[in-house]
Structures are given as structure tokens and as C-alpha cells.
Structure 1
Amino acid sequence: MSQFPLHDIASAPEDAKARLEGAQQKMGFIPHVFGKMAEAPALLEAYMTLDEIYSRTSLTPAQQQTALVAVSVDNRCEFCVAAHTGGLQQADVSQGDINRLREQSAPEDPKLAAVARFARHLNATRGWAEQSEIQAFLDAGFEQRQILELVIACALKTLSNYTNHIAETPLNEELKPLAWQAAP
């Protein structure tokens, strides 16, 4: 059993309180991963800052969320798969493509399939991307900058997936309808 506290605004270290308040205002609740990250305010700041930067990349919201789900599924992070499933829904990704991503298969949408494949490849190879995978991604209509933008997705998921594994983050009630279980 994890001994990492699940902070709320009242219990969080002072350096984390404003970020938790911002999440509460923006989302209507504080994702438990943020409550766990608050134990190390620098981690919470790093994640939230990088997430905001990632949102400004040239990838569409659907492509951004696709990469985050693909990497989280591969990393077996149940919390992040549920959370970013909500992001896929908000980005109007079809339920069929959402299901395929959660099952580690390719979405029918060719652009989302290319993003999922390349993000998984980057994650699996720890960034040692094969030239054939780079070319396949470019051939799918993407640019070199988007290859590098997917590095941000992998970095984001390293921060949150690892935190959730170490701290045993429970799923928020708000996310339970989107729950996902990693295969044993």
C-alpha cells in the first residue's frame, strides 16, 4: 500500500496550493494524480507547465490526446488512460477509435493511427526511433516538428505514469465511468 498522501488544497504544501486551486477551477475537481504530485510541488509544476506547453503544439487536440492514451496504455497506467479517454471524447474522437486505442490497436482514422503508432514507437525505443518509423510518420502527412512534439507527450506521460505507479493513485469518482484496466 502506498504511503504517498493524496493532497487536497488544505493539506497540500504551500507551493502546490495555487496549482491545485487552478485545477479545481478549470476542471471542477482536482485529479488525484495532481493530489499525489502535490507532495513534490516541483513535480506538479513541471507536469502542469509541460501540459500547457503541449497544448500549444501543432498537433490537433485529438492527436495530442491520442498520443497520451497510446503511451499510457503501453505503460499500463490505468489512471491516465481513464483521464485522457475523457480528453479524446472532448476532442470528438469516435468511440470506435477510443476503444481501439484502449485495446492497443490502431484507430481507423489514418492520422490518429500514425500518431498512436509513432508515439508508441518513441516510448518503446526510449527515443531511439528507427528511420523507417520516422519516414512512415512523415509519409502520413506530418512534419518533422511534430516528431519532436511527440517527445513532449512521452515526457508528460513519464511524469504522470511513473507518479501513478509509485504513488498508487486512485481513480477520481468523476473518472470512474472511463475506467480502464491493464491486462495482467
Structure 2
Amino acid sequence: MTYPVHTIETAPGAAKEVLAAAQKARGFVPNLYAVMADAPALLKAYLRVGELFDETSFSPTERQIVLLTVSYENSCEYCMAAHSAIAGMQKVPGDVVQAIREGTPITDPKLQALHSFTRSVVASPGRPTDAQAASFLRAGYSRSQILEVVLGVAMKTLSNYTNHLADTPLDDAFAKQRWSKTG
């Protein structure tokens, strides 16, 4: 199935302002937003959920771990590339991003616990075992952060599924971070 990659001019009226704001803030309209513009409510929901995820108690590095992990588990090539680039801009350690991209363990035990727990939430779906939750809590995370992981999973599910349905073309800005799941 294909969807149009809208421009500000071709987008439905309710999405034009959102795309214009993205253009102003980023210098370009990400293709994901341009595809989501076909359903303005989806575009607005995705961006709002992203704003709320930024308000969680997770650090920028931890947030990117959640988003990259969900994208890896869902085999979303677009989001893996985009969030690899964003992680670099946010100074997420390169070895952490590389580990997630390669499907290998993260060397930092607390960050690995976040990665593992996020994987369990996606794989279950939404039904991690008590042992998995206990391991996450023992690593130093809180009960509320379990629910914050759910918020990150919800955010990435919106974009991962959209990208799968639309086969969203990768933006030039993310091309150096192109990714595909091996194995």
C-alpha cells in the first residue's frame, strides 16, 4: 500500500500548519510526518504523544533506548535510522546505539535493564512477566517508569505501523543511519 508523501501545499488543511511548524523547526518536513498528514489526527496524536514522552522521568538517553528498542523489535527501518540520527544529536553514547542496532547487549547494566524490559513489553505484547518487571525495578527504575515505557511503546507503535503500511521513504537527513534487521 502506498500513501502520498505530502508537502505543505498538498497536505489536508488540518495538517498544513503542523507540517509548516516542522519545516520551521527542523529545516525539512520528515517523510513520516508527510505521510501521517494524510490522517491529520494521527499526525497530531503522534507529535503530542512525543511531547508527553519527553516529559517522562527518563533521561534523553533512556528515552532513545526505549524508542530504538521498540523500532528494532518492530523491524522499522525508517524509525531505526531516524532515531539513530536523533540519538547522535542528543549525545547518546555511540556504543549504546550500536548495540541496539546490532541486537547485542548494552554494556551499562541499568540501560540494558531498560532495553530488556522494553523488549519484553513489545514481545509479550504488554504482558511482561513479574520476573521481568522485578528485574527492571531492581536495576533502579520505578513502577511509574514501567508505565512510561508503555507510553514510549505507544508512540513508536504509531510511527512503526504507519511506516510499515506506507513504506515511508527514508529522508536524506537520516540516510547515513540506514538500517535493516539481520537475522
TM range (shorter): over 0.9
- Aligned identity (percent) is 40
Q: CA–CA distance in 1 between the matches of 2:109 and 2:7?
A: 41
Q: CA–CA distance in 1 between the matches of 2:19 and 2:113?
A: 34
Q: How does 1:29-40 map to 2 (within 5 A)?
A: 29-40=28-39
- RMSD value, Cα: 1.1
Deviates more, 1:87-96 or 1:21-30: 87-96
Pair 1:155 & 2:154 matched: yes
Match of 2:76 in 1: 77
Pair 1:43 & 2:42 matched: yes
Q: Verify the 8 A CA contact 1:74 1:104 in the aligned structure 2.
A: no
Helix, strand or coil for the counterpart of 2:110?
Answer: helix
Helix, strand or coil for the counterpart of 1:126?
Answer: coil
Query: What's the CA shift for 1:103?
Result: 1.2
Pair 1:145 & 2:119 matched: no
Pair 1:10 & 2:4 matched: no
Q: Verify the 8 A CA contact 1:70 1:104 in the aligned structure 2.
A: no
Deviation per CA, 1:107-132, whole angstroms, max 9, x where unpaired? 11222211111111101011111000
Q: CA–CA distance in 2 between the matches of 1:90 and 1:114?
A: 23
Q: CA–CA distance in 1 between the matches of 2:111 and 2:141?
A: 11
Q: Verify the 8 A CA contact 1:79 1:164 in the aligned structure 2.
A: yes
Q: How does 1:68-107 map to 2 (within 5 A)?
A: 68-107=67-106
Q: Give every structure 1 segment of 4 or more consecutive aligned residues whose post-TM-superposition deviation is greater than 6 Å.
A: none
Q: How does 1:121-140 map to 2 (within 5 A)?
A: 121-140=120-139
Query: What is the TM-score with the length of structure 2 in the denominator?
Result: 0.96
Q: Verify the 8 A CA contact 2:2 2:165 in the aligned structure 1.
A: no
Deviation per CA, 1:120-154, whole angstroms, max 9, x where unpaired? 11010111110001000000001111100000111
Q: How does 1:44-59 map to 2 (within 5 A)?
A: 44-59=43-58
**How many pairs align?**
183
Query: What is the TM-score with the length of structure 1 in the denominator?
Result: 0.96
Query: What's the CA shift for 1:106?
Result: 1.9
Unmatched 5+ stretches in structure 2: none
Match of 2:113 in 1: 114
Q: Verify the 8 A CA contact 1:75 1:161 in the aligned structure 2.
A: yes
